[in-house]
Amino acid sequence: MSILKQKNSLYIGGEWVPADQQEVVVNPADESVLAEAPVGGSEHADAAIGAARDAFDNGPWRKLSAQERQAKLTVFLDAIERRREEIIALIVAEAGATQGMARFMQYAIPMQHGQAMIEYASRPAITPLPIETTPNAQGGITLGGGVLVRDPVGVVSAITPYNYPFFLNVGKAIPALAVGNTVILKPSPFTPFEALILGEIADEAGLPKGVLNIVTGGKDVGEALTTDKRIDLVSFTGSDAVGAAIQAQSAPTLKRLLLELGGKSALIVREDADLEAAANTGMINITAHCGQGCALLTRHIVHNSVRRQYVELVRQRMESLKIGNPVDPSVTYGPLIREAARERTSRYVDIALGEGAKLITGGKRPAGLERGFYYEPTLFDDVQNGFRIAQEEVFGPIGVVIGYDTDEEAIAIANDSEFGLSGGIFSRNVGRAYEMALELRTGGVLINGGAGRMSSHAPFGGIKRSGYGREYGVEGLNEFTNMKTIGFKGG
């Protein structure tokens, strides 16, 4: 697998700018050195902000028609697609994703989202408002009308995490660019190359200079992108703790924020559920990408009449997973991103046992894998919703089962959380499941597993400590625009 042509440079103002420092990027599956990546500093952040600001204020991008930007971004996506296999290999090596996860969820879905956002952005930027008549002082009638104009918000800083890096790099950059903004993309230090490769592709696609900038780095770079007054909007995906810090950092300049944060989402399994299907979904939501997903359903609220059967079905499925290096296409469960993530997962196992939860399976490092940040998929039963293991986001492969007796109790347990990102209900009584879904305080609910794929037309986001704002769909596109109304008389 090749890395990048520009290994030690950042993409700023349409140019490759050398970085003074490099940092080793490790493959989480075997702890081998993938490559050295450039590490940006505050001076690079300042240069990227300046380039993006100048490109927005003085460049051609925001003045292009929607169709012209659509054509340019279609060329950009086509250029990405030509490097599909290279990018998928990079997702596997850098993020530790399995082959299936890398190909479908981490590559195909964001490309689908990107195309949909480009198509949405082809809508007219100016929408007529209803014509109204009003009596005037001269005894006549004034004919009045107006339009609603959607303007690009300006300079966007997009800060992405390590779990779904390519997905979120594309998912933030494309809609922001499609409506005329300029973007500074900052990836996680663990997964820089899935961002930097987009700089090479921007060159190939001929994006105007300064429209897309990519800087790596640590806390100093991140704070520059959340505090500088030249930034108009911050789009961040990550933990609720960092989201709260970004909100505080951005407050003095009153920036717009789009925050997609943590989750501890509930899966309700009613007594009439198809338990095989529910257990499949339950297992996937504990183990997908080694539990490193904010929207995963990790609190399983199961009717007591079927709870023991459900737990056994999930256990069987978890223990049948093939754990190992995801370079092997037969592997269905890979590593956590770093040793710190494995240690955090292990600590939460100790916390759960100390609280009185019953360990069903997992709870330790797998045998025979001496290198790589692996941890067995882990399931607890006899959990109370007040336990820390049921309230705090682990971001690792741990699921908990909580029993209930009535629908009202299940809804109350599901809503008793500081988070509100996702949710699920399994029931053969779909009408009742829909009524329950209406009562859940969360950003989305999937009934009986949902539609089978993540829709590009459905807005995604949360409430409470899961953040605010929406991504994808027309609502997600609108997050990157300002509304302006212009009124006028008809005569």
DSSP structure class, residue 39: E
List 94, 260, 376, 393, catalytic entry: 260
Q: How far apart are CA 158 and CA 183, in angstroms?
A: 7
Contacts of 462 (CB under 8 A, 6+ apart): 260, 261, 263, 419, 420, 421, 422, 442, 443, 468
DSSP secondary structure letters along 269-286: E-TTS-HHHHHHHHHHHH
Contacts of 216 (CB under 8 A, 6+ apart): 10, 19, 37, 38, 39, 40, 186, 187, 189, 192, 195, 196
Residue 298's nearest CA partner among 397, 409, 434 is 397
Q: How far apart are CA 185 and CA 167, in angstroms?
A: 13
Q: How far apart are CA 171 and CA 205, in angstroms?
A: 18
Residues 314/365, Cβ–Cβ less than 8 Å = no
Residues 95/162, Cβ–Cβ less than 8 Å = yes
Q: How far apart are CA 11 and CA 215, in angstroms?
A: 7
Q: How far apart are CA 393 and CA 211, in angstroms?
A: 35
Active site residue 260: yes
Catalytic positions, please? 260
